[in-house]
Structure 1
Amino acid sequence: MKNSIAESVANFLKDFKPFSFLSFEDLKSISKFVKVIHLDKNQKLFQINDELHNSFYVVNSGVIHLTVFSDAEETLLNKCYAGDVFGLRPFFAKNNYQMTARANEEAILFAIPIEKVKPFVGQNAEVLNFLLESFANNSNNPADKDRNKLLSDSVQLSEFQNDFSFIQSLTYNKKPLLVEHDQTIREVAVLMTDNLLDSVFVKEQNKLVGIVTDSDFRLKVATGKQAIQSHIDKIMTFPVITVTENISLAEAQLAMLSHKVHHLCVTIDGTPHTDVKGVITQNDLIQAQANSPGVLIKETKKALSASDLKAVYHSLSGIIQQAVTKSIPLQHLYNVSGEVTLAIIRRAIEISILELGSPPVPFAFLSIGSQGRKEQLLLTDHDNILVYQDVDIQQVRDVKDYFNQLSKKTTEVLEKVGYKHCEFGHYANNQKWCKSLTEWVKQYENWINTPGEFTNEHCSIFFDYEFVFGDQNLETAITETIFKTKSKVLFLDYLGNDALKKPAPLSFFKKFNEEESGPNVGKFNVKEKAINQLVDIARLLSIQHGLKGINNTYSRYKELAIKDTNNAEIYLEAADTFLLLSRYRTLEGLKNDNSGEFIDIEKLSKVDKEKLKESLHILKDLEEIVKDTFQLTQFS
């Protein structure tokens, strides 16, 4: 490509992220290798299951539609306009494309060679973080109209087995061997042998100047090119590739690929100018991959005991604790945690069945409450119910006895794994919540038709559920009961009034309503005074709009934005607010090893205080929607 064209491409790219993070000179050097692609209307660039290209793409002009197949129909996933970047899968995954890219009108694209970009990605944290965070965030909502962002090719959550490495932290040797540049090769070889290490960092006047690995000994000493009496700096490799202490698996992989090295030096700030804190090897990457969520799910399927599942549970906890501190979309973490948790519960049931024998009739085991919404990251308990198929009266006792035993054994396994039992008894081991389909249908109809004092409490637990194991038709029957029951007016009024009566998060003077007494005096209860109301209103409006099978609060608001376009902006803001508040709670919980409900406002930065306070204003807008929808007042 001629320099004039390269400069023209660079001039275009510089206005869009992540290219805006690079210098213009760097952009020009990349642009020399960019290819210009012309697509006619309806022409495909790639389609589902095509092999990955060696480039990703930027739209110069025109519109590109990204589509997937859902329920045997082609579904529009997103639209890409000028400046949008798509086709990132080759950066982070090896499996084929998971979507189709087609020109909706005549379009011109820039094909950016991945190999030419990787060196700049490895050297520029802003570019790398932008790519990683964007790849983590599935842009799968047609109503999502944010422009100037990268579009993920990761369409289905089930693919996190391949794509979770962007948030996985690494375990590595934090006591690397350091030697002086004038030590002999023989001395260093003895030190490496004694310490069972395959690398050593070389310093001169307390400055990091190089690295020596087993490979250097083979190529430069064993071949006779250097004598063992020579100084170690004669065979060292330099400069040393340095990274920060909190580097993720994907970041480390990219750094090694970009620089064609097998060792990374960990320093305090990621530069050679601060103290060496460790060394990362390719073996560390392999070990980290063995602890990916996809591998954890495979491990649950092979587990034979509670102790096997407990090891998976601890690995998951470690992954989540490391990941939540990164700027990764919390919804992705919720989904990943939820999927692994479901796999653990599923295997706990299977282990119990192996001990008891085959169930006498079909049944369904459902997770309920926050676990059913896949919104648990901290201090997880287990809330669940069991539904079994109706039987003749002669069989009732034996069948009920079997499922009571199954529930009890499953609960025992889960508690040995680390999932605490619900203090309110909302689990299948409680005979109240282990019963036949007919009994469950009557229970739900009773809650809906004759709401009373505990309506909202039951609704917040039993109306959010996720199928875990068994016959899904039984779960479907319960869902149909909830949405087919005609006399829901009084039920929804009860729920609406309860949502309006939640404690206000802010005072009249716009100050946080902090606890006035008790062990958490002076702290802000983010769950009781903000998150609960977001959850309850999302559930209420989802039932009102007939949103079946959508149990997650974030997803409910996203779907409501499509259903109720008049209030779309409010719902989208509510979805973001839910994730923001949940992140504050999660970080607080990790810091204090508790549920994270009570936030010490005084310990937040000024920016975080304002961000938190500003986010709470959406609750008033949601309350107005509830009042208008159900003709309620706060005095109803």
Structure 2
Amino acid sequence: MTARENRKSDSEGELRNNSVLYRISSFQYSETLGNMMDRDVYSCSAGDTVKLVAKEMTLRGISSVIVTDANGKPVGIVTERDMVRKVVAEGEICDISKEISDIMTPSPICLSPADTLFDALYAFSRHNIKHLPLVREGKIAGIITLRQIMKLRHSEPLVIIGELDQASSLGDYKKIKEGLVPLAQEKLSSRQDPVDVVTMLSLVNFDIHKCILKEVLERQKTPPPVDFSFFVTGSHGRRENLLFPDQDFCVIMEDYPDSRHEEVDGYFQRVSKELSTALNKVGFVYCPGEVMGQNPQWRKRISEWKKFVSEVFIKQGPFTVRYMTLIFDSAPLYGSRSLFQKYIDHAYSLLAKNHNIIRQMHDEEEGMHKVPLGLFQTFITESNKDHKRQIDMKKSGLIFLIESARVLALKHGIRETSTLKRLKALVEEGVIHRDDSEYFENAYRVILHHTLMAQADNFLNRGTEDYYLNPYELSGRSQEILKQAFKAISKLQDLVGSEFGELIL
């Protein structure tokens, strides 16, 4: 075997071993709370006595209790501090036979097991709390405490959260966003997992969006006239932001009579425009496709959204694939989660009955996207003078893997939005072998790493925000690993193709 063949074999082996490619981040932004929450949660009913609850807390050695209703939904929380402050006051013990609802903190701040460590830290800081109930499908699933997370001893996310908490102007948010570029480059240069880097970028960008939206709403002369949900889509929805994402947000409004259209729609049109203008000033440029709430196409009543989604499936046309990606790569930003859930549930119910549309997505994407490797495994690069010998890492690599994972996940009714979670779910469904999934996941990491590095280098050195990389400037080992990553993407595309070859239309 020649030296080159040895190098090629070694690079393929490395691509199947993430611990060789990247080191564990000092703080894993992508770590979900479900992996570290305490599942043994003590809950009580609102009618239980203070004496009974205090006794149970002492026997169990716990610092909080969740008060739930008859359906298991959290309606309050009582902590050790509440017991001291509200039960023992000024040296006198209150009536311990009173109901726990008399001393509980009602409507506790809750997160989901699917939320991240960063989300929890931000909630602890913003709301000055130390206990976070975690809710799944309306019922208590676990709890996470500030003490648990602080044992991790990481200062970086706390610095970012502190900056977000202290931000009082668009200039402050802009400074935070601009600071992410050198931070991301530093992390990538030290070989930290690029998935964790994009998660960090996405979480911070998400919180900037949410903070600005809340400030815009607070500036309005009147409260929202109806219930609403702002949601994000694209890379924001997948939590896969690169360094300079544009705006992609939509608005769902509760149904209201036509006679109130000017009042209600006008309110959210105004809020959307103010939000969009503010985001643009911070550094999130206007969406070229105008997927923003001030565009009436992306601001509708829930019944109108359902009708729009239905028409996407029924009246398939040139924008069908674009609309499908917008629908299924979305996530709630702020407002009523139930409105967003109605919208996305409707979309998935239609998807289950209309596999033809997934076939259309596959056919369109397959025809346009081929990895940049030639017959003899050489890089296929740009020929124009501005980017000669370069590869657009996003359009010629990253997007292929994202689209393949999306199409395959949708075909099997998987509701995950992030690329890696889609791949992992496909393993659980038995669609992809676990070894192949690790191969695809690490190919994603390699492509993502070089895409982010190219974007950071181009911005810091040339002031551009593109994704062009000259692969021949990489080391020989890095070139071989990049080629193996492109080959893995091609293999995933073949897998998707074989799935649709078996589809009976």
- TM range, smaller chain: 0.5 to 0.7
* 8 Å CA contact retained: 1:382, 1:419: yes
Give the match for residue 293 of structure 1.
157
User: What one-letter code is carried by the residue in structure 2 that aligns with 1:529?
Assistant: S
Secondary structure of the corresponding residue to residue 389 of structure 2: coil
User: What one-letter code is carried by the residue in structure 1 that aligns with 2:347?
Assistant: I
Give the match for residue 613 of structure 1.
483
Kindly state the Cα deviation for residue 569 of structure 1 after the two structures are TM-superposed.
2.5
Matches within 5 A, 1:181-200: none
Give the match for residue 355 of structure 1.
219
* 8 Å CA contact retained: 1:293, 1:340: no
Give the match for residue 440 of structure 2.
574
Counterpart pick for 1:342 among 206, 215, 235? 206
User: What one-letter code is carried by the residue in structure 2 that aligns with 1:385?
Assistant: C
CA displacement, residues 185-214 of structure 1 (integer Å, 9 cap, x when unaligned) = xxxxxxxxxxxxxxxxxxxxxxxxxxxxxx
CA displacement, residues 231-265 of structure 1 (integer Å, 9 cap, x when unaligned) = xxxxxxxxxxxxxxxxxxxxxxxxxxxxxxxxxxx
User: What one-letter code is carried by the residue in structure 1 that aligns with 2:246?
Assistant: D
* 8 Å CA contact retained: 2:253, 2:301: yes
Give the match for residue 545 of structure 1.
412
* 8 Å CA contact retained: 1:451, 1:490: no
Aligned length: 366
Whether 2:291 is the aligned partner of 1:426: answer yes
The 3 A distance-change label for structure 1 pair 557 and 530 is same
Give the match for residue 204 of structure 1.
none
- Sequence identity of aligned pairs in percent? 21
* 8 Å CA contact retained: 1:160, 1:294: no
Give the match for residue 313 of structure 1.
177
Secondary structure of the corresponding residue to residue 500 of structure 1: helix
The 3 A distance-change label for structure 1 pair 345 and 160 is closer
Give the match for residue 482 of structure 1.
347
Secondary structure of the corresponding residue to residue 368 of structure 2: coil
Equivalent-residue separation in structure 2 for 1:538 and 1:70 (angstroms): 31
CA displacement, residues 60-95 of structure 1 (integer Å, 9 cap, x when unaligned) = xxxxxx98556989xxxxxxxxxxxxxxxxxxxxxx
* 8 Å CA contact retained: 1:386, 1:428: yes
User: What one-letter code is carried by the residue in structure 2 that aligns with 1:305?
Assistant: S
Q: Structure 1 segments of 4 or more deviating over 6 A? A: 70-73, 160-163
Whether 2:80 is the aligned partner of 1:157: answer no
CA displacement, residues 45-65 of structure 1 (integer Å, 9 cap, x when unaligned) = xxxxxxxxxxxxxxxxxxxxx
* 8 Å CA contact retained: 1:373, 1:551: yes
Matches within 5 A, 1:457-536: 457-485=322-350, 486-505=352-371, 506-517=373-384, 519-536=386-403
CA displacement, residues 360-404 of structure 1 (integer Å, 9 cap, x when unaligned) = 111111111112111113122121111111101111221111000
Kindly state the Cα deviation for residue 522 of structure 1 after the two structures are TM-superposed.
2.4
Secondary structure of the corresponding residue to residue 590 of structure 1: helix
The 3 A distance-change label for structure 1 pair 617 and 70 is farther
The 3 A distance-change label for structure 1 pair 162 and 367 is closer
The 3 A distance-change label for structure 1 pair 444 and 584 is same
Whether 2:359 is the aligned partner of 1:400: answer no
* 8 Å CA contact retained: 2:181, 2:456: no
Kindly state the Cα deviation for residue 611 of structure 1 after the two structures are TM-superposed.
0.6
Normalized against structure 1, the TM-score is what?
Answer: 0.53
Whether 2:237 is the aligned partner of 1:372: answer yes
* 8 Å CA contact retained: 1:573, 1:618: yes
The 3 A distance-change label for structure 1 pair 559 and 369 is same
Decide which structure has greater strand share. 1
Kindly state the Cα deviation for residue 298 of structure 1 after the two structures are TM-superposed.
4.4
* Higher alpha-carbon deviation: 417-426 or 595-604: 595-604
Secondary structure of the corresponding residue to residue 433 of structure 2: helix
* 8 Å CA contact retained: 2:199, 2:241: no
Kindly state the Cα deviation for residue 577 of structure 1 after the two structures are TM-superposed.
1.0
Normalized against structure 2, the TM-score is what?
Answer: 0.66
Unaligned runs of 5+ in 1: 1-17, 19-65, 74-95, 97-153, 164-284
Equivalent-residue separation in structure 2 for 1:415 and 1:426 (angstroms): 14
User: What one-letter code is carried by the residue in structure 1 that aligns with 2:497?
Assistant: K
Matches within 5 A, 1:551-630: 551-564=417-430, 566-593=432-459, 594-630=464-500
Give the match for residue 449 of structure 1.
314
The 3 A distance-change label for structure 1 pair 412 and 478 is same
Equivalent-residue separation in structure 2 for 1:155 and 1:483 (angstroms): 20
* 8 Å CA contact retained: 2:327, 2:347: no
Equivalent-residue separation in structure 1 for 2:162 and 2:264 (angstroms): 32
Equivalent-residue separation in structure 2 for 1:498 and 1:72 (angstroms): 49
* 8 Å CA contact retained: 1:369, 1:465: yes
* 8 Å CA contact retained: 1:407, 1:428: yes
User: What one-letter code is carried by the residue in structure 2 that aligns with 1:395?
Assistant: R
Equivalent-residue separation in structure 2 for 1:487 and 1:596 (angstroms): 39
Counterpart pick for 2:197 among 315, 326, 333? 333
Secondary structure of the corresponding residue to residue 469 of structure 1: strand
Secondary structure of the corresponding residue to residue 387 of structure 1: strand
Equivalent-residue separation in structure 1 for 2:165 and 2:314 (angstroms): 41
Kindly state the Cα deviation for residue 301 of structure 1 after the two structures are TM-superposed.
4.2
* 8 Å CA contact retained: 1:558, 1:571: yes
* 8 Å CA contact retained: 2:443, 2:484: no
State the Cα RMSD in Å.
3.1
* 8 Å CA contact retained: 1:496, 1:632: no
